[in-house]
Amino acid sequence: MQIYLLRHGIAEDAAPGHSDSERALTSEGKEKLRRVLKRARAADVSPSLVLSSPYKRALETADVAADVLGYKGKILRTPALAPEASPYESWSEMREHKDETAILLASHEPLMSSLAAFLLNSPALIVDMKKAALLRVDCPRVTAQPHCMLKWMLVPAVAE
């Protein structure tokens, strides 16, 4: 299984009295996200399933990814990708879809960097998941504990 970890793009500041979960992507955030995803599309990234945090900025990120990558399926919202979720919760969600060939996850920090370390079986690993960064890991078997391999990472600065 190919797993793509996609951190949401730049989001607007929280408006007074509004929930953090309601923050939307900025136009700059969408533009940088599109650059990364166009580069990914050129590398034949084609998710068979897209999962997203229920937060607005992650859902918008998943929508942009679906559009750029040509994903025609339904984007599934899951609390297992909310910012406060644990990597184990995220892995459990992925295991429910173990027959998929390529899953794209749209989520937040600190979950994305800790999930990358968890998938690579390296809990001390520090991963700098910039906004709109896309990381690919391959998991040859979907078992109780992940044992995946890092393939690559794209960040907006190299996707110009």
Question: Mean pLDDT over residues 74-97, rounded?
Answer: 97
- Single-letter residue type at 123: P
pLDDT of residue 21: 92
DSSP E strand stretches across the chain: 2-7, 49-52, 75-77, 102-107, 134-138, 149-154
Residue whose C-alpha is closest to residue 49's, from 111, 14, 10, 3:
3
Is the pLDDT at 17 greater than 90? The verdict is: no
Is the pLDDT at 160 greater than 90? The verdict is: no
Query: What is the C-alpha radius of gyration for the chain, rounded to an integer number of angstroms?
Result: 14
Contacts of 27 (CB under 8 A, 6+ apart): none
- Provide the 10 A C-beta neighbour count for residue 82: 18
Question: Mean pLDDT over residues 41-59, rounded?
Answer: 97
pLDDT of residue 15: 81
Share of the chain above pLDDT 90, in %: 91
pLDDT of residue 103: 98
pLDDT of residue 74: 98
Write down all domains in the chain, each with its CATH number in brackets.
2-12+21-158 (3.40.50.1240)
Question: Mean pLDDT over residues 18-22, rounded?
Answer: 89
